[in-house]
Amino acid sequence: MMGRGDNLARLSRVLSKSYFVVQRPDIPYLLEGPDLLASQTGRLLAIFLPKAREYEDWRRLAARLILSRLALPANTTTLLVIPTDRPSNAVDQETIGLFSAATDNRELSRAVDKTLVEQRKPVPAHVRGWALERASFLTALARRPETGNRLVGQARPLAVSPHADFPLTPPDLWRFGLPQGAVVERYQRAYIAFPRGKGSVASVINPYSSALVNSTFSVIGEAIEIASPELGAIYLQDRRGHIVTSRESRGTALAGWALLDDRLPPSLAADLLNSWLARLS
Amino acid sequence: MAYRRRVDALKALVISAMSAADATAVNDEFERVCQSGMIRLRPRRWLLEVIHSCRALDTGLQTYVHQETGRVVHSIGGALAEARDHGIHGNFLPIPSFHTHNAAVARVRNYYMHQAGAFPTTASEVERLLDDMNSCLHEVLVL
């Protein structure tokens, strides 16, 4: 079985004959993005190879895809590559349908050309606008929590209808794959989470990001919509002395979480988060 | 190596977002940022990294705003204000982002471009500024 790194290198070689190719692109607003970007004038293709934990839980791959589509231009098409050494049912059909196209290693070139010319559904402007507005607010709140009220006032009333069919009670975030033992409190439509764990900040936050993304957005095929406007704050535990980087803050914010600390107590954070959401109405 | 992946990701976006000629002009400046990293004298290296990154950002923003809106802007602040007030593709640069980018990028850029004798003093300062510039350009390109 070829490792992911070998597969990526091989895919890069095939694509670089016709495209500008970036392996493991470092995108400022993503903690985990696509595995490859292939670019030509007027065309951008994001390519995904499922990771081990994504084979175990498809919601993780769906969240990585949704966040990548929000953080990349509207004209980006997406391609899922399933290595040939995986069984044919390694990925369920519903997940495959979230991408512009899916293929295995052997048919890559043909699949890339076909994907780039076929119709696809871009992320609607109002969904992108809301997600980026929320990310901007959460990033700024993490950087300057003392300006919370002013940041709420800067939120633009957006084109998300107050009469949209959002559930009065947000769905249970636990249904979307929070880790066992996770401590998460809910205040109306805002969550406050206290994740623990060793490992990188990105790895500790990933299940919380995945859960909130899958709770907030609905996807049918390539069509993305806002299912339930929500957001939250994360207070990392057991990280004394860790200085949150801008990248960690931005990547977490796009998923709907502000990375906060004791400069802003959780109860005040919850009020600010709900006040920001109230701007929708 | 880490900065190379960040630069290449931006270059990919620029290639897809602009004409070939415009993309080449912007991406050549990103390459000069990477090449500046080989200069031994640190203050000079850091200043060149900042200057070339500023030029990439300046040209990238002005080119993209003009291409997508027809409006001519002459500065980073002007491009950010245009994205904030008039939007691109129906989406507006959020106000907190405008303030963040204006403070972190536009003002700092003006300082190093216009103040004689001004040099960045630490590698982390340069890293932070390059990161801020990259995220600024990226956020406008995806509106």
Confidence at A24, pLDDT banded by 50, 70, 90:
very high
Give the Cα separation of A9 and A26 in Å (integer).
16
Give the Cα separation of A149 and A277 in Å (integer).
13
* CB pair distance less than 8 Å for B16 and A250: no
Confidence at A62, pLDDT banded by 50, 70, 90:
very high
Asked if residue A279 has pLDDT above 90, the reply is no
Asked if residue A161 has pLDDT above 60, the reply is no
Give the tens place of pLDDT for each residue, A188-209: 889 999 998 888 888 999 999 9
Q: What is the ipTM of this complex?
A: 0.92
Enumerate the residues of chain B whose CB falls inside 8 A of the CB of residue A129: 90-92
pLDDT at residue number A32: 94
pLDDT at residue number A110: 74
A259: left (phi over 0), alpha (psi -120 to 50) or beta: beta
Give the tens place of pLDDT for each residue, A110-133: 777 776 666 578 898 889 999 999
Q: Return the higher-pLDDT residue of A231 and A169.
A: A231
Chain B residues 15-54 within an 8 A CB cutoff of chain A: 15-20, 23
Average pLDDT across chain A, whole number? 87
Q: Return the higher-pLDDT residue of A158 and B24.
A: B24
Across the range B69-98, mean pLDDT stands at 93
Highest mean pLDDT among A5-9, A46-50, A120-124: A46-50
* CB pair distance less than 8 Å for A137 and B92: no
Q: Which residues of A touch B (CB under 8 A)?
A: 20, 22-29, 37-44, 71-76, 125, 128-129, 132-133, 136-137, 139-140, 143, 151, 154-156, 246-247, 250
Q: Which of the residue ranges A75-79, A261-265, B2-6 would you say has the lowest mean pLDDT?
A: B2-6
Give the tens place of pLDDT for each residue, A173-188: 878 888 888 899 999 8
* Interface mutation vs chain A, best among B3, B5, B13, B24, most A CBs within 10 Å: B13
* CB pair distance less than 8 Å for A75 and B135: no
* CB pair distance less than 8 Å for A137 and B131: no
CA of residue A228 relative to chain centroid, distance: 15
Asked if residue A281 has pLDDT above 60, the reply is no
β pairing state of A101-103 and A76-81: parallel
pLDDT at residue number A115: 66
pLDDT at residue number A160: 63
Helix, strand, coil: what percent of chain A each, to 5?
A: 40, 15, 40
Give the tens place of pLDDT for each residue, B106-128: 878 888 888 888 888 888 888 88
* Interface mutation vs chain B, best among A24, A27, A36, A246, most B CBs within 10 Å: A27
Q: Name every residue whose Cβ is closer than 8 Å to that of residue A96 and which is 6 or more positions away in sequence.
A: A80, A102
Confidence at A60, pLDDT banded by 50, 70, 90:
very high
Nearest to B133 by CA among B28, B41, B49, B13: B49
Task: Say whether residue B126 is in contact with chain A using an 8 A CB cutoff.
Answer: no
Asked if residue A163 has pLDDT above 50, the reply is no
pLDDT at residue number B115: 86
Task: Judge whether A223 and A127 are in contact, CB under 8 Å.
Answer: no
Task: Say whether residue B127 is in contact with chain A using an 8 A CB cutoff.
Answer: no
Average pLDDT across chain B, whole number? 91
DSSP letters for A91-106? S-HHHHTTSSEEE-GG
Confidence at A5, pLDDT banded by 50, 70, 90:
confident
Give the Cα separation of A111 and A128 in Å (integer).
27
β pairing state of A223-226 and A20-23: unpaired
pLDDT at residue number A162: 47
pLDDT at residue number A234: 95
Give the Cα separation of A213 and A256 in Å (integer).
7
Residue of B5, B8, B16 lying closest to A73 (CB–CB):
B16
Task: Say whether residue B95 is in contact with chain A using an 8 A CB cutoff.
Answer: yes
pLDDT at residue number B120: 85
Asked if residue A264 has pLDDT above 90, the reply is yes
State how far residue B116 is from chain A, nearest Cα, in angstroms. 29
